[in-house]
Amino acid sequence: MTGRRSSLGRLYLDLIRDGVGVDGCDADEHDRQVHRALVRSAMSAAQCGQQFDEWITLVRESISRLGQQARRRGGRQDRSDHDLNMLLLETWSTAEKRIAERPTMTAQDRADYIAAVRDFCADADTKITDTERAVLAAACDLAEQHGTIRPALPWRRLQERSGLSERATKSGLASLRVKGLLVLHRRGSASRDPSRRRANVFHLPAADTLAAHAGVPYTPRGLTYGTSQAQRQTYGTPTNHQNEPDEENTVVTLTIHAKDADTLATVLDTLRRQPAAVDVHPQGRPALRLVPGGRADDEPAQVGPAVGTEPPGTSHA
């Protein structure tokens, strides 16, 4: 590959020289881990502008632990020089293919990626604790400092930048891993010698992961998201119109007693045309007295509730 040349990063130089942790692995797992590490180092070398012969020289050096692991098939049987060269050539081809499928991020792309994570940390509505927020913000600082979205995160550096205690820093780092906001990319190694310590390398969260932990927008009291404005009730109890009586359909049934048909006709005509004044007798059987036009007739008709099973409008001479 051609392009701007730069030195191979320390991360992948260490990977070539220190190899991968394959102790206790079976033969198939040993080959998978070694092949994955070879592809990663080849991709890094190609993105730095190095050629195949330059990369293979690094891998075949006597101090290259990764090269020694690649030579041993399944961790047991040595490959011939021809088989080893074919393996490395196939690895380089795989690296070039992956680079073509996933182009290298530019400096601006990395800056935008880190800025999105910073905005997530600054949002008070995100579903993370203050400790997790401080640790993730410190991880963004280290990522920006080294120009990568996969920074090495020594807990001591995180503690220094976040201002948290050792226990809080380690707890926040662990909880971010559980939530998927920091994905382990390469496991480090502990050592009493600071020069031999290797911190865990993490991948900063992608946009879909940030969206999954984003906060819920503020909802005014009484409103529910997903409900149309016409269906929303801001305050109070929704009115239930089904329990209200229908005034237009209210029917009053009266039984009218009259001594003859003419009197009955007069009473009905009065009810239809004139307002009626109703007088309720306080004593004895409740009865209604119809006073047409507000004046009592000489022989008023009595209006009372239905008695027995007589149908409404029954006339009694």
Provide the domain limits for residue 43: 10-101
Residue 222 to residues 168, 219, 228, Cα–Cα distance (Å): 38, 8, 13
Q: Which residues contact 136 (CB under 8 A, 6 or more apart)?
A: 117, 120, 121, 128, 172, 176, 181, 182
Kindly state whether residues 54 and 121 are assigned to the same domain.
no
Domain assignment present for 218: no
Domain boundary among 82, 101, 120: 101
Kindly state whether residues 95 and 115 are assigned to the same domain.
no
Domain assignment present for 313: no
Kindly state whether residues 82 and 16 are assigned to the same domain.
yes
Domain boundary among 212, 234, 266: 212
Q: Which residues contact 294 (CB under 8 A, 6 or more apart)?
A: 275, 277
Kindly state whether residues 187 and 92 are assigned to the same domain.
no
Kindly state whether residues 83 and 141 are assigned to the same domain.
no
Kindly state whether residues 93 and 114 are assigned to the same domain.
no
pLDDT of 202 reads: 93
What tens digit of pLDDT does each residue of 166-183 get? 999 999 999 999 999 999
Domain count, the chain: 3
Kindly state whether residues 89 and 115 are assigned to the same domain.
no
Domain boundary among 101, 118, 147: 101
Kindly state whether residues 128 and 156 are assigned to the same domain.
yes
Domain assignment present for 32: yes
Kindly state whether residues 22 and 68 are assigned to the same domain.
yes
Residues of the chain short of pLDDT 50, as ranges, are: 1-3, 223, 225, 227-234, 277-284, 286-288, 294-297, 299-309, 315-317
Domain assignment present for 171: yes
pLDDT of 94 reads: 93
Spatial distance between the Cα atoms of 101 and 205, rounded to a whole number of angstroms: 21
pTM: 0.46
Domain assignment present for 217: no
Which among 96, 38, 29 has a CA at the least distance from the CA of 66?
38
pLDDT of 177 reads: 93
Domain assignment present for 221: no
Kindly state whether residues 42 and 124 are assigned to the same domain.
no
pLDDT of 280 reads: 43
Kindly state whether residues 158 and 191 are assigned to the same domain.
yes
Kindly state whether residues 263 and 196 are assigned to the same domain.
no
Domain assignment present for 75: yes
pLDDT of 231 reads: 47
